[in-house]
């Protein structure tokens, strides 16, 4: 594998990752599912720092979906506890130069978690090397529903004309407003579906599916995905000359 794909002109601006396979990784080793989530959280930190170091501008990761509430209560509780611990730890990394944003419906999250999310966003708001978006209680369809409701209220109160509702208008009412759409979405674990992740934003994203569980994912695996991405011809519905 040649390293030219790591040159800025070949790199995507925005990477999305569906961090999948934590539970299966733990099960294969006879460990509780929580062990897989902890290992996956460590991998996330390593990958985020690597993205920053090679010049990726945006990284969006699927941390907890709107559908994940159907998992066993003990697993949900462990995931939320792990997330809180991660957010507390971000205070230790003041020199990371990574900006944190959170995508999703926060209304059903507990006060402690919402407070930590707010503090992490405010504390990192001036960082410039990499923006990490963590999708928590996030679902692509739910995001679109939320955007449509916001737009409908503006039409109802007269602050927005129906004729002004276009793609830009809708994008500006999504959680990812002012963030470019992902160039590539990577899904480890061997599954080949989008699972309601960035449904609107991924209309022209490249997908790279990989047969590796997320806790085993390394920077070499990310390089393999970026190498694959660099070979794609992105036409956006047009024709290359």
Q: What's the per-residue H, E or C state across 177-199? A: CCCCCCCEEEECCCCCCCCCCCC
Which has the higher per-residue pLDDT, 238 or 162? 162
Q: Is the pLDDT of residue 59 over 90?
A: yes
Q: What is the mean pLDDT of residues 88-107?
A: 88
How high is the pLDDT of residue 236?
53
The answer to whether residue 100 scores a pLDDT higher than 80 is yes
Q: Could you say which of 42, 53, 68, 105 is catalytic?
A: 68
Which residue in 20, 142, 183, 221 is the catalytic one? 20
pTM over 0.85: yes
- Is 29 assigned a ligand-binding role in the annotation? no
For range 2-31, the mean pLDDT: 91
- pLDDT at position 239 is 47
- Whether residue 14 is annotated as binding a ligand: the answer is no
Is 20 catalytic? The answer is yes
Average pLDDT over residues 129-133: 97
Residue 217 has pLDDT above 70, yes or no: yes
Residue percentage of the chain with pLDDT more than 90: 85
Structural domains in the chain, sorted by start? 11-139+179-230 (3.40.1180.10)
> For the chain, what percent of residues have pLDDT higher than 70?
95
pLDDT in tens, 29-52: 999 999 999 999 999 999 999 999
**What is the average pLDDT value for the chain, to the nearest integer?**
93
Q: How many CA atoms lie within 13 A of 2 on its CB side?
A: 6
Does 227 belong to an annotated binding site? no
Reported as a pLDDT band with limits 50, 70 and 90, residue 166 is very high
25 appears as a binding residue in the annotation: yes
68 is catalytic: yes
């Amino acid at each position: 594998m040649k390293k030219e794909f790591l040159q800025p002109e070949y790199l995507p601006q925005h990477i999305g990752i569906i961090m999948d396979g934590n539970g299966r990784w733990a099960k294969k080793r006879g460990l509780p599912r929580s062990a897989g989530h902890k290992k996956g959280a460590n991998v996330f930190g390593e990958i985020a720092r690597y993205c920053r170091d090679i010049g990726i501008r945006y990284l969006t990761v699927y941390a907890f979906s709107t559908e994940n509430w159907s998992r066993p209560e003990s697993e949900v509780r462990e995931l939320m506890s792990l997330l809180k611990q991660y957010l507390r730890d971000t205070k230790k990394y003041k020199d990371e130069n990574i900006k944190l944003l959170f995508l999703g419906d926060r209304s059903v999250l507990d006060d402690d978690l919402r407070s930590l999310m707010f503090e992490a966003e405010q504390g990192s708001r001036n960082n410039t090397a990499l923006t990490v978006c963590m999708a928590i209680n996030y679902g692509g369809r739910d995001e679109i529903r939320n955007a449509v409701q916001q737009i409908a209220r503006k039409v109802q109160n007269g602050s927005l004309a129906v004729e002004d509702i276009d793609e830009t208008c809708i994008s500006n009412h999504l959680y990812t407003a002012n963030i470019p759409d992902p160039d590539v979405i990577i899904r480890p674990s061997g599954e080949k579906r989008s699972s309601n992740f960035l449904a609107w934003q991924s209309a022209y994203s490249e997908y790279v599916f990989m047969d590796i569980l997320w806790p085993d994912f390394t920077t070499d695996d990310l390089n393999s995905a970026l190498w694959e991405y660099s070979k794609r011809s992105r036409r956006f519905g047009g024709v290359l000359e």
